[in-house]
Structure 1
Amino acid sequence: MRLSVGTTASDQDETEQFGEWLLKVGDGLKVNMDGNMESQLDLYGPELLNSINCSGLPPHKLILKVGVSVMLLRNIDQSSVLCNGTRLQVRKLGNHVIECEVLTGNNVGHIALIPKMNMVPTNETVPVRF
C-alpha cells in the first residue's frame, strides 16, 4: 500500500513488480539477476548452521552444570525481575525447567524457574530446529 501512494498509472506495473520482489525477499528467497527464484535454505545443512560460533549468538548446544553462574540474554518475566542482564546461579536441572537463584538486583536470593524450550521456526520452509 505504501508503494502505491503518489504513483502514476504508468508506474503501476513497476511498482507491483517491486512489491512482489519485496514479499519474496521477506520470505527468505533470493532473486538471481535473470529473475529466477531459488531458495538459499538448501545450501546450508544443519551441521553447518550448528557449527556457527560468533559474537552475539549463543552456542548451538548450551551445557550447564549445577552451581554455574549464568546471565539472561532475554527478558523472560519483568515482574519477577528476570530481565536481560540478570545474573543467576543454577541450583537444579530438570528435564523441562532450570531452577536458579537470583544473584543481582532487588530479588537477591529469590528462586526462579526458567523453562527449557526448543526454538522451532514457524516458517515451514526452514528445515532447521534451533
Structure 2
Amino acid sequence: MGGTMSTSAIQLAAFCTEVAQTRTVWAVKDGNGFPAPVGTDGKRAMPFWSSESRALHLISIAPQFTGFKPVAIDWDSFCERWLPGLERDDLLVGVNWVGVRASGFDLLPSELKANVEAAVR
C-alpha cells in the first residue's frame, strides 16, 4: 500500500493498537449522559478513545466537552453491550477525536470491532 496514511487512518490504527493492548475503551459523560453529536455527514456518532489521557486532552481543549469526565469500559463488555446498542440506535463510533472542534474518524460499530480484533493478532 503506497502513499501516506490519512490522519483518520492513523487515529484508527492508534486506537486499535492501544485497545488491543489495554482491552479498555474510554468514553466521556456528563450529567446528561454520553454525547452523540451529529457529524459532518449528518449521522450521529458517539466518540470513544483508546486512552484516558486522549479523552482528558479533548475535554481540556474542546468547549463542547467542558465538564465531561472520562469513563473506562472493558473491551469485552464494550463488544457485548455497547456495540450492539450503537448499531441498534444507528450510531457511528467516533475514534480518538481530536482538536478544538472535536472531530475525527467515524465508522460502523461492526467495522471497529473487526479492526481492533485484527490488531490483536
| Alignment TM-score, normalising by the size of structure 2 | 0.23
Higher relative contact order (CA 8 A, sep 6+): 2
Which of the two has greater helix per residue?
A: 2
| Alignment TM-score, normalising by the size of structure 1 | 0.22
